[in-house]
């Protein structure tokens, strides 16, 4: 059995993502869903290397990017725990995620107060 996840990217004249849409019919997401960003990581077992596709639209605000990364780090910690059963490292990643969000939020607040 095969399953398909579709990601459609519409580019602007500068070849930057204008819109990102996705669906996963086999997962119950039939209609195209809009997204402002996508981080896709793939593992090449033969080359022993990670392949990444990181895209975001111009509509993605810095505070949204901060939250997106925080939630991604936190989710990666949960996935890592399920895959390895290593609670200590999973918790470290969650603590990093919290620290990251605090620092990113503080930096954004400082930048906004300077403008």
pLDDT in tens, 39-65: 999 999 999 999 999 999 999 999 999
For tokens 């509509």, the residue is: 59
- The 10 Å Cβ neighbour count of residue 97 is 19
Query: Residue 46 has what pLDDT?
Result: 97
Mean pLDDT of 84-97: 98
Q: Are residues 49 and 68 in the same domain?
A: no
**pLDDT greater than 90 at residue 114:** no
Domain span at residue 66? 61-115
Domain edge (last residue) among 10, 32, 58: 58
Q: Are residues 82 and 110 in the same domain?
A: yes
Q: Are residues 39 and 78 in the same domain?
A: no
Mean pLDDT of 95-107: 97
Domain edge (last residue) among 28, 58, 88: 58
Q: What's this model's pTM, rounded to 2 decimal places?
A: 0.89
Q: Are residues 53 and 75 in the same domain?
A: no
> CA-to-CA distance for 90 and 76, rounded, in angstroms?
8
Q: Are residues 105 and 72 in the same domain?
A: yes
Q: Are residues 111 and 65 in the same domain?
A: yes
**pLDDT greater than 90 at residue 115:** no
Q: Are residues 40 and 91 in the same domain?
A: no
Q: Are residues 70 and 35 in the same domain?
A: no
Q: Are residues 33 and 1 in the same domain?
A: yes
Domain edge (last residue) among 39, 58, 77: 58
Number of domains in the chain: 2
Burial class of residue 77 in the structure, from the number of CB atoms within 10 Å of its CB (0-12 exposed, 13-18 middle, 19+ buried): buried
């Amino acid at each position: 059995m095969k399953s398909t996840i579709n990601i459609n990217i519409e580019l602007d004249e500068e070849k930057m993502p204008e819109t990102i849409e996705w669906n996963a019919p086999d997962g119950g997401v039939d209609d195209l869903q809009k997204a402002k960003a996508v981080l896709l990581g793939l593992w090449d077992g033969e080359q022993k290397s990670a392949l990444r596709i990181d895209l975001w639209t111009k509509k993605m605000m810095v505070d949204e990017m901060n939250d997106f990364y925080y939630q991604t780090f936190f989710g990666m910690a949960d996935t890592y725990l399920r895959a390895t059963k290593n609670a200590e490292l999973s918790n470290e990643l969650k603590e990093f995620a919290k620290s990251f969000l605090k620092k990113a939020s503080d930096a954004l607040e400082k930048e906004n107060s300077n403008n």
